[in-house]
Structure 1
């Protein structure tokens, strides 16, 4: 990847790291399944009115919407609502990277290098340590919900690669059309009209301001800006090259959660986080590819100069 593309991948990691604080704030006001529906409704309405449908096969649009939009955020929001710490949620969700690498190899026939496999293995070992720590402390259910969200993200990554949109932002916007109705129906069944009504009854008070700010952040910066850049990168590089950068998200997520929420990871969780970051750094150090086109241009200029 060129340096500017690496910088963009790191920017997305920062945006998505802070995104977990925004989600935490929104969950203080709204029930989790309804919050997923609300988040994507705010994107879907202007999309249907203003954004042309991307010229991609419907099956990949639906695959992206179900994987990235529904499964990822349903698992993440339910896991955080069940008590999984905000900072560690940003870490565990990065299981999407090894999932994406495996799916990319199986479904897209992308090549797996020894370095990449080793780096992902180290990262998975780190995630395992976090799971052991949290499973022993609070039970396994919240942890596995977030892991489910990571699997949904991975399927979304593969769908975007197969869709290969000419305008990635249009695909991001139209992905948001998929979740609202299924999530609203599920919310009415699981959470019920009473819980939804209670949330709306105080939504216009000053205590709900942080929740609305968090929701605005997740919609604009977390989804439109962050996901737009991400899909743009996924279009230009193999999924196994781009996906590991998502494991830089917990660096921001854990630090910001510690500063703002006072979360302090246990020793085993810190070791796991170090392994995750170490794994992504190792797998991301790819051999330098010569700039063949640039070399050809230099040779042509030299030949022209010599002729003159």
Structure 2
């Protein structure tokens, strides 16, 4: 990778890490359904200028509901219910574990021994983190958060048939497909009056956080990431995502004073270590089914 591309990859990881903090600030003023809906409404603005990519509506909706709606709504609800931001940024990156597991089940992409070791290590880390649940946030909130990496992983696999589409156009329309049902959900759960009151009372800081999360983190950062994946092998690009939980955890400790107990910190580092092993391992090979 060229130095400029390395800088872009690091920049994207930093933006995504800081987005966890910005989301937490916005959730102080907005219910999670509305905050997530606004995130995607802002990121969907380019749909006014770009055409729908050559992807079928069922596939587009399926990708949107998993990769975006399911992932980020679960994040927002969990953080709003008290899951620390730094821990959330680590748990979300466990999507690598679920992506490999689902690929093995659906596409017969059997993990290599090195990837298997990474999966085992990351799983141990998750179990260590589970041992800290119930002290500063509920089991229910943690269960909601776990929906995020699972839907993230499903979205990764659904994205495969659409990789020929222009990344910027695709992500814009994915955001639109998420924003519409999320606004409908907000009107049902919060109500028209509550939604209107939350919007008109949004502070300048809240507005800035939403512009950062929607415009910079969701729209521009995903587009830059897609360009990197288009121009370079995934093995060179994806490991930079390991910076996200470090940025998210560090920023959370500075902004919110988040503290990590020994067991939780060890679990977080173990998860990241397991993910690193998975990412740096060679890609799994599809099994060949022999017929008589």
| Shorter-chain TM-score above 0.5 | yes
Compared CA separation, residues 150 and 182, structure 1 to 2 (3 A): same
Could you tell me which residue of structure 2 aligns to residue 301 of structure 1?
none
| SS, match of residue 52 in structure 2 | coil
What's the CA shift string for 1:170-193, capped at 9, x where partnerless?
111110111122111111222223
Offset at residue 115 of structure 1 (A) = 0.9
Closer/same/farther in 2, CA of residues 201 and 226 from structure 1, 3 Å limit: closer
Comparing 270-279 with 234-243, greater Cα deviation is found at 234-243
| TM-score normalised to structure 1 length | 0.82
TM-score if structure 2 supplies the norm length? 0.86
Report the alpha carbon displacement of residue 246 of structure 1 after superposing the two structures with TM: 3.6
Look up the match of 1:265: 260
Alpha-carbon distance in structure 2 between the residues aligned to 1:150 and 1:114: 23
Residue 23 of structure 1 deviates from its aligned partner by: 0.4
Residue 13 of structure 2 corresponds to residue 18 of structure 1: no
Give 1:130's aligned residue. 129
Unaligned runs of 5+ in 1: 288-308
Matched with 2:286 is none
Unaligned segments of structure 2, at least 5 residues: 283-292
How has the CA–CA distance of structure 1 residues 30 and 146 changed in structure 2, closer, same or farther, with 3 Å as cutoff? same
| Equivalent residues of 1:12, 1:230 under 8 A apart | yes
Aligned to 2:215: 220
Query: Which moves more between the two structures, 252-261 or 240-249?
Result: 240-249
TM-aligned CA deviation for residue 28 of structure 1: 1.5
Q: Find the counterpart in structure 2 of residue 294 from structure 1.
A: none
* d(CA) in 2 for partners of 1:53, 1:276: 37
2:94–2:275 Cα contact (<8 Å) kept: no
**C-alpha offsets along residues 44-82 of structure 1, whole Å, 9 cap, x if unaligned?**
3x3332012112233332122111221111101011111
Moved >6 Å (runs of 4+): 3-7, 236-242
Q: In the comparison of the two structures, how many residue pairs are matched?
A: 282
RMSD of Structure 2 on Structure 1 (CA): 2.6
Secondary structure of the residue that 1:134 maps to in structure 2? Answer: coil
Question: Shift in Å at residue 12 of structure 1?
Answer: 3.0
Which residue number in structure 2 is paired with residue 41 of structure 1? 41
The question of 1:88 aligning with 2:87 is answered: yes
Cα-to-partner distance string for 1:110-151 (whole Å, 9 max, x where unaligned)? 352111121122122212222220234422111111111121
Kindly state the Cα deviation for residue 254 of structure 1 after the two structures are TM-superposed: 0.5
Equivalent residue number for residue 287 of structure 2: none
